[in-house]
Structure 1
Amino acid sequence: MTSVSSVQKSSGVDHLSPYLFHLQALTPSKHNGGELRGGNEENWPILQGQDAAVYVIELEPGGVREPHWHPNAWEINFVVSGSAKWVILGTQQENYTFVAGKGDVVFAPQGFFHYFENASEHEQLCVLVVFNKSSSEPRNDIGIINSISLIPNDVLAALFGVDPNLFHNLPKITTPVTIAKKQ
């Protein structure tokens, strides 16, 4: 049996087998509040045309995965370690809030608004996420920050039934947030 060098593993792709991917060997995308690494059709060629992607999201205490929805994908989330507070809002306004712990699996249906946060003040949270789309994160989701940033203040005021000045200092953010940390 031939061993794989760290150089071969750094891209995630195993050069001895296209079916093996070294997810933890990837350099993570770091954010204030946690990090993300994933295998998708852009970095794991075997997934092209397969409608599949896999990610590991690690959140520090106070870390939050940006509230979002996927117009074209569902996701299955496996809690590897720690505990996650989940919020899922469905297309018929069904609303669920719950905590999932180590070994639990959470399903977020296609089109449902959802997010999770680290439920612990002391422990790291690690979640393995599997999608039925091959595109990279965050290209397959619509985040709440970008969505609200595109809505004019007078429209937000009308929707919330408040004075438009309330939204005057709301920053307009056009880049994906993906992961944040509560203050």
Structure 2
Amino acid sequence: MASSLASLAAAAFALLFLATVQAADPELVSDFAVPDGADESKLDGVFFTYTGLRDGAPSSTTGLGRKQVSVKEFPALDGMGVSMELLDFAPNSVNVPHHHPRGGEILFVVDGSLTVGTVNSNGKLYKNVLQKGDVFVFPKGLPHYQANFDKANKAVAVSAFGSSSAGTVALPKNLFGSNIPDEVLTKAFKISADIVQQLRSAQN
């Protein structure tokens, strides 16, 4: 009995360890990660430079322009455990509730004003109105949002992440733009099938 409990505990610990390891960026065993096929001796400062933010964030039909700087766009971030994003909020625009499964986020308001909030696992909302120069942190995995409620002026922010590829799960799209059965959504949100269809249509 004691032996089987010990085995079960060891297996549980191993699974927990693996889940923890896989949830984080891989640890570097060198100064930085050299891209496959590249000659490290020929790399220079250009490798560590990203110029894709010079033109700002592109505009969008939603009013939220965004320009991501992750390992996909900037290979020098591989193994660094960091990434960032430039966010350009048109007047009266919202970055919908979402979360980042692989990294916490720290947001810095460069210009304008933003209303932000994050919700913990018990459903408590932590919100504030940020002004230029303010910083807010969103813990890894917790749903959060940002909104520019100013009807005349835009807002600009920079987000930094504790992962070279933090990922983004946009809750409206991932819930109502997916193949989750209508019956599940009607029961979960206590809404009619017609409303589910309206919410699905809004994601297109």
Regarding TM over 0.5, the answer is yes
Question: What is the CA distance between 1:93 and its match in structure 2?
Answer: 1.7
Residue in 2 aligned with 1:93?
123
8 Å contact kept, 1:91–1:111: no
Aligned length: 158
Structure possessing the higher radius of gyration over alpha carbons:
2
The code of the aligned residue for 1:84 comes to L
Q: Deviations over 1:105-145 (max 9, x none)?
A: 0100001100101131111100010011112xxx7011112
Question: What is the CA distance between 1:174 and its match in structure 2?
Answer: 7.1
Whether 1:73 and 2:100 are equivalent positions in the alignment is: no
Q: Deviations over 1:40-73 (max 9, x none)?
A: 2122222111111111100100211121011111
Residue in 1 aligned with 2:48?
19
- CA distance 1:61–1:140, change in 2 (3 Å): same
Structure 1: how far apart are the matches of 2:133 and 2:75? 29
Residue in 2 aligned with 1:123?
153
Note the aligned Cα RMSD (angstroms). 2.3
Structure 2: how far apart are the matches of 1:83 and 1:168? 34
8 Å contact kept, 2:57–2:88: no
What TM-score do the two structures reach when normalised by structure 2? 0.68
* Greater per-residue strand proportion: 1
* Greater per-residue helix proportion: 2
Residue in 2 aligned with 1:52?
82
- CA distance 1:157–1:121, change in 2 (3 Å): same
The unaligned stretches of length 5 or more in structure 2 are 1-43
Q: Deviations over 1:64-115 (max 9, x none)?
A: 1121011111000000011111121112222122211111101000011001
Residue in 2 aligned with 1:146?
173
What TM-score do the two structures reach when normalised by structure 1? 0.76
The unaligned stretches of length 5 or more in structure 1 are 1-14, 176-183
Q: What is the aligned counterpart of 2:66 among 36, 61, 86? A: 36
Residue in 2 aligned with 1:12?
none
8 Å contact kept, 1:37–1:57: yes
Structure 2: how far apart are the matches of 1:161 and 1:56? 36
Structure 2: how far apart are the matches of 1:68 and 1:77? 14
